[in-house]
Structure 1
Amino acid sequence: MSEETFDAVIVGGGPRGVATVLRLAARARVQGAAPVRVAIVDALAVGPGATWLVDQPAEYLNNTQADATTVHPDESTPMSGPPAPGPDLVDWARRVRAEGSHPVGEWVLEEARELTGATFPTRRLQGVYFRDQLEAAVATGAVELTEVLGLAVDLETRGEERTVVLEGGRRLTARTVVLAQGMVQGRRSAEVQELVEFAQRRGLRYVEPGMPAERDYTALPAGEDVLVRGLGANFFDVVGQLAAEWGGRLDPVDGDPHGRLRYLPSGREPHLVVGSRRGVPYRSKPEGGRPVRPFTPRWAIPEWFDALAARGRVDFAAEVWPVLGREFARVHLEAVAALAPEAVTGDWLAGLDAARTAEEVDAVLEASLRDEAWAWTLEELHRPTLGEPVGEDGWARLVRRMIRDELGSMSDPWHHPRAAVNGAMGALRRHVGRLTARGAFTGESLVRDVLGWFDGDSLALASGPPADRVRLVLALLEAGVITLLGPGMVVEADEQAGRFRAASPITGAVVTSRVLLETRMSKGKVPDTDDPLLRALLDTGRARVHTVDGVPTHSMEASPAEISEDAEGGHNLVAADGTIDAAVVVLGIPAQSTQPGSAIGATPGVPSPLLAGADIAARQVMARARVTAVV
């Protein structure tokens, strides 16, 4: 099959690919260069990518407010390329409303009319935004774009050129290839493979882990137990989709000060029995538009983080977590003291000043809080029962308290202690990401602590679902449509019963079912990826897993990047023997351990590793394209 030649081939049609094209267009316009010839390859869609497909259910929501979404860098993002302002999501929606129609469909106009800065937009609407920004860049004439729907399976080298090989044999050749695959998925684990085969053999229904837009969770058997594993962001989207299908009614509870809802079933509901490792759902975002208590650190100040980065060899669990814990404990106690002064006792601030370990922080919390309604410890963040069996009654009490705390946190984020902790985590996790980017942690601590548990705990607190979706889940819990199984969920194929079996060693609950839904994603860990191109590069030594102190991380290695027009490379692929391929740029999630923060979408007014990386890639594409033109 003949080769097609371009200045750049971008593998991945989501926001990183779109942002790279936008930065190429900006550079080409300023330089007065000929149009840059670009091919974008994506297995599903160019523009939205897999996460923001425009044909996914309307119930799937972004977990970021609309005013926190853009694909255009502003002055807050350090980059060497020319500025090129463009509309953020809210501005774009305003333009759609003014035009009164949209070629994708009437639903785009309808959703744009409802959008405010505090709205959590549908994923499909954000996908249309990304697509429109891509088309606008192409319309300037600065970029000639070829869209390729297909699966990239290999990357070949011939001199200065690289050829992306697609399934089916199509070949796309360029001087620069940008790998921007985004949320890579994992190969089936041995457990998942066993469950797949068990379901096929016994005629059961099993929905395995993956991107929710590529799965079908609907048409569940009414009145039956259905097992669900996963209590993160995807779980809330799936519940929203299912509730719309069931057709039950949500009514406000009269007189409830926290906006509690009552779910009135339609009769089409199954009984969802849900569990996970932690056993409790992600924490809610505050109610849209409500003021949130600002966080100002007392101990984890920028200078302290800078000193750690300069020193290096940091052990997160021993040195960083206790200080973060002091901040979480402080804001919790401050909020409780304001809400219920009688519930707090002693000189807790002096106690926290003296605390040097997480255990000592928890001891201060236990000694200072004398009302069980406000009791809380750091250990609860990843072990709600502190790892102790609690039985059915103890777990029911904990779930009732969780519902009460979530309602309070959503409805009054300025005063509620749990909202204060969530806000502190949201602020401090960014500093932890910067320490990672600066190579401050030992390899053992990075993998064991930061990647091993802190990233997950911080997501559960600071990157949760919209409040409206949480209110629905809480109403379903109180209506008995959803039951939380408990922490440490174990799923097995029960051959004797011919059913899936789930159990929690913490609560003692055991449930069997003909249906098992995985609402978790098999995401992010490159060593186990099922992406055929990344797999080919890793398996042949043309790429390698990033290590720190010889300890493998979850990402592939890319070279460091400098924000300078004089820099020759940056974010380039590193082979097993340590050689750097200057013709291949790796952006975002596949190289996350060397590009912390690049998995997070871009927010107006906030430095964006995603957009900075796109400009670094565009600089290299333009430099190599100019070399081609001279030759």
Structure 2
Amino acid sequence: MGSGPRGIAVLERLAVRTRVEVEEAAAAGVVPRPVRIHLIDSHQVGAGRVWRTDQPTWFTMNTVISQVTMYSGEQDEGPARPGAGPSLGQWIAQRAKDLDEDYLGPNDYAPRVRYGEYLYDVCQVISRSLPSHVELHQVTGRVVAVRPVPRGGYRLSFAGHSQPLEVDRVVLTTGHPVNEPDAFERRMLGFTDHFPSTRYICADSAADMDLSEEAIPAGTSVGVRGLGLSFYDVMLSLTVGRGGRFLWSPGDELVYKPSGREPHIVAGSRSGLPIPARGRNQKEPTQSHRPLFLTRQALEAARRARAAGGSAQLVFAEDILPLLLLEVEHVYFTTHVRVTQGTAQAQAFAERHEATLRRGEDPRELRAEAGLGDLPPIDLEALARPFAGRHYRSTEQFTQELFELMHRDLAAASLGNVDGPLKAALDVLRDIRTIVREAVDFGGLLPESHVRDFHGYYLPLNSLLSAGPPMERVEQLRALIRQGVVEIAGPDTRFETDESAGGFRVMSPQVEGSERIVRTIIDARIPSPDLRRDTSELTQQLIADGMARVFTIPSPDGESFVTGGLDVTPAPFHVRTASGEPQPGLYALGIPTEHTRWFTQVGSSRPGVATLFYLDADLIAEEVLRSVEPQDTDLEDEQWPARRLVSAAAGAGSPE
């Protein structure tokens, strides 16, 4: 259930495999059994909730369009079809030509609504391309229960008065959850009950928040919790969405022309740092860093060593992070040599540098020989927490330092993710996600290390440094700060209630004079999946009936950790029952399984690359089609009960 990127990916691979069935059946003199697929979504079939096509154009993707595709094969000379179709960039280029729209280059970023339109188009292409023995039913509805039926398969119940639907297989690709408020949110919402002029807007996609002028009047002060990607969505909704404009001045500086309808925005986060910009893309879709140190062989060796002590579970800070940092440092210093001395010198340096690091020797002498002696190693923590331990005498002093940091970041980003040493090194964090997943997925870490080292330490750094917005967004933020529309409170931002002021207090204890009273607080962070807080009736039913359970990381000493993610088997990702048994015919993919698997919010594949996004979908498609063998051609069509499959309820994700 769910027709966002994950649901469409499964549908696309089902279509490819059923087309292959036709060829194989013809060669064998048999006829493939009829297949009926129900694609179900509670919002928009073919796009899902997050990517639906009725949202504003200022919500932007954070992956360049040439690196995004929903087809499992590249476009060829034939028509678009399952297994061979245009990337998002190629589709947008053709659309611009047909509709005389503004052209986006391969390294540009598209509005999210455009990706939703692409997803919808892919869905319709699949529908038109299905072989004659396959039916596709596109169903708009909200599934509230999935229960087994005595003769096999499942009955799906819908909200309202819709008739139940019986199917043989169910694939859950339900996307981002809506969670029950946590303790902090309950306290804030309770405050608004006593002070009706205040509002607290819980975390969600910005497209699903009420950010209208009626809800947040012009001239009022609003606090924004979080400075990640969703912060920029909220920022633009309250500025460009209110009629403001960004213009380039004669001095080549981006300036903001307010409409007068904007609120005053006071934003902050734990780090106090707005998420830095992505480096200007210089990579082809198939180009990525190949791990040299954090390899599959290194992980296997670490597990063998740990297993000798009783458990093969790893310690992230000891077994993974040091090797990951070697990858980042190696790219950082090698890129410096290449851009200053040329490719030949860089290749020679890279060979010696890699060998030195492998032997565990001090690389400083080698770096000095290469003219890098004054260049300090890259420090991820310092990059992500630049204000840690600092104290500022005024908001002006902090803002000045923030501006200087943003200026340096934009300069580094403009050099690119190949020729810019800093952004090339940080792009390694994206490129090696697959091997990190192999290390941590399905309880690969000891519980304490998962909580402390991975979830508590590494993930915030990784999110801040490797998943930034286009440079344009950082330029726009600077312009809004200069105009006085946006104010960054500072590090360790506190969001508190103030009964005497009748509002919320936003302040940084490290910045004197930063305290501000606001009437509205917006949580600009995407909710983390947690089955224990998920408001979905379907999720609650599956857990209550023992058809699903929360994933728990075991520990050799009995101190397990309950993650909040949906427990599934390794591929093809059967949902596990309350007793831990694989649930026959019930599968889950994507965001509901976060914590069992890592970084499931990926919302596309890459052209020409066999990504996990594509492989995961294919493994499920293979499994759900495997159950029934083709029938002999002598049988009458009426004798064949159709295989009833479902890839079904509101799926979405963020491109990698």
How far 1:625 sits from its partner (Å)? 5.7
Matched, 1:484 2:488: yes
Q: Please, which of 547, 551, 560 is the counterpart of residue 570 of structure 2?
A: 560
Going from structure 1 to structure 2, the CA distance change for 1:339 and 1:608 (only over 3 Å counts) comes to closer
**Counterpart code for 1:629:** P
* CA deviation vs aligned residue, 1:289-343 (integer Å, no higher than 9, x gap): 69999857664456434534565422112332233334445555666789999xx
Q: How does 1:155-554 map to 2 (within 5 A)?
A: 155-159=146-150, 160-170=152-162, 171-202=164-195, 203-219=197-213, 220-252=216-248, 260-287=253-280, 299-300=293-294, 303-308=297-302, 312-329=312-329, 331-332=331-332, 377-392=379-394, 395-413=398-416, 414-437=418-441, 440-508=444-512, 509-549=514-554, 550-554=560-564
CA RMSD for the aligned pairs?
A: 3.6
**Post-superposition CA distance 1:137-173 (Å, at most 9, x none):** 2113434222332222221111312112122253121
- Structure 1 residues 291 and 394, CA, compared in 2 at 3 Å: closer, same or farther? farther
1:585 partnered with 2:587: yes
Alpha-carbon distance change, 85 to 416 in structure 1, aligned in 2, over 3 angstroms: closer
Contact 2:327 2:428 in 1 (8 A): yes
Instruction: Give the corresponding residue for 2:613.
Output: 610
C-alpha distance 204-386 of structure 1, shift in aligned 2 (>3 A): closer
2:106 is matched with 117
Give percent identity, aligned residues only: 29
| Contact 2:239–2:258 (CA under 8 A) maintained in structure 1 | no
List alignment gaps of at least 5 residues for structure 2.
23-31, 75-80, 306-311, 342-352, 555-559, 631-639, 644-656
**C-alpha distance in structure 2 between counterparts of 1:415 and 1:610, whole Å:** 28
| 1:56 paired residue number | 55
1:398/1:420 CA distance change after superposition, 3 Å: farther
Determine the C-alpha separation between the residues in 2 that align with 1:599 and 1:184: 12
Is the 1:287–1:410 Cα contact (8 Å) retained in structure 2? yes
Q: 1:48·1:131 contact (CA, 8 Å) conserved in 2?
A: yes
The answer to whether the 8 Å contact 1:252/1:261 transfers is yes
Judging changes above 3 Å, is the alpha-carbon distance between structure 1 residues 391 and 625 closer, same or farther for their aligned structure 2 residues? farther
Residues 198 and 74 of structure 1: CA distance in aligned 2, closer, same or farther (over 3 Å): same
CA-CA distance at 1:200 after TM superposition = 4.2
Cα gap change, 1:539/1:494 in structure 2, threshold over 3 Å: closer, same or farther? farther
SS in 2 for 1:182: coil
- Answer yes or no: is the 8 Å Cα contact 1:598–1:608 preserved in 2: no
Looking at structure 2, the residues matched to 370 and 617 of structure 1 have their Cα atoms a distance apart, in angstroms, of: 52
**Could you say if the C-alpha distance between residues 353 and 34 of structure 1 is closer, same or farther in structure 2, counting changes exceeding 3 Å?**
closer
* 8 Å contact from structure 1 (residues 405, 418) kept in 2: no
Partner of 1:118, secondary structure, is coil
Q: Aligned residue for 1:4? A: none
- Report what 1:20 is aligned to: 10
Closer, same or farther: CA 246–153 of 1 in aligned 2, 3 Å? closer
Hey, what's the Cα distance between the residues in 1 that align with 2:570 and 2:257?
Answer: 55
State the AA in 1 paired with 2:315: D
| Cα distance, 1:457 vs structure 2 | 2.0
Q: CA deviation at 1:192?
A: 1.7
Secondary structure of 2:319 counterpart:
helix
> CA separation in 1, counterparts of 2:508 and 2:470?
28
Distance 1:328 1:267, change over 3 A: same
Q: CA deviation at 1:249?
A: 4.3
* Inter-partner Cα distance in structure 1 for 2:336 and 2:482: 26
| Cα distance, 1:50–1:355 mapped onto 2, change above 3 Å | farther
Structure 2 vs 1, CA of residues 622 and 335 (structure 1 numbering), >3 Å: closer, same or farther? closer
Go from structure 1 to structure 2 and tell me whether the alpha carbon gap of 1:420 and 1:83 turns closer, same or farther (over 3 Å shift). Answer: same
Of residues 562, 573, 589 in structure 1, which corresponds to 2:575?
573
Q: What is the letter of the counterpart of residue 83 of structure 2?
A: A
Amino acid paired to 1:120: Y
Q: Distance in 2 between matches of 1:199 and 1:629?
A: 56
| 1:581–1:295 Cα change, 3 Å | closer
SS at match of 1:527: coil
> Equivalent residue of 1:584, what SS?
strand
TM-score, L = length of structure 1: 0.82
Report the counterpart of residue 141 of structure 2 in structure 1.
150
Residues 60 and 237 in structure 1, CA contact (< 8 A), matched pair in contact too? yes
Q: For residues 518-565 of structure 1, what are the alpha-carbon distances to aligned partners after superposition, in whole Å with 9 as ceiling and x for unaligned? A: 22122323332222212222233321112222322241111122xxxx
- What one-letter code is carried by the residue in structure 2 that aligns with 1:275? G
Decide whether aligned partners of structure 1 residues 418 and 475 sit closer, same or farther in structure 2, where only a CA change above 3 A counts: farther
For residues 294 and 586 of structure 1, the distance between their equivalents in structure 2, rounded to whole angstroms, comes to 28
CA contact (8 A) 2:82 2:126 kept: no
Greater RCO between the two (CA within 8 Å, min separation 6)? 2
Q: 1:49 to 1:316 in 2, by over 3 A?
A: same
Report the CA distance between 1:288 and its aligned residue. 5.2
Q: State whether residues 389 and 506 of structure 1, in contact with CA within 8 Å, keep that contact through their aligned partners in structure 2.
A: yes
Partner of 2:69: 70
Any idea what SS the aligned residue of 1:67 has?
A: helix
The question of whether the paired residues in 1 share the 8 Å contact of 2:548 and 2:567 is answered with yes
Report how far residue 95 of structure 1 moved: 4.0
Q: Given the superposition, is the C-alpha separation of residues 110 and 284 from structure 1 closer, same or farther in structure 2, using an over 3 Å criterion?
A: farther
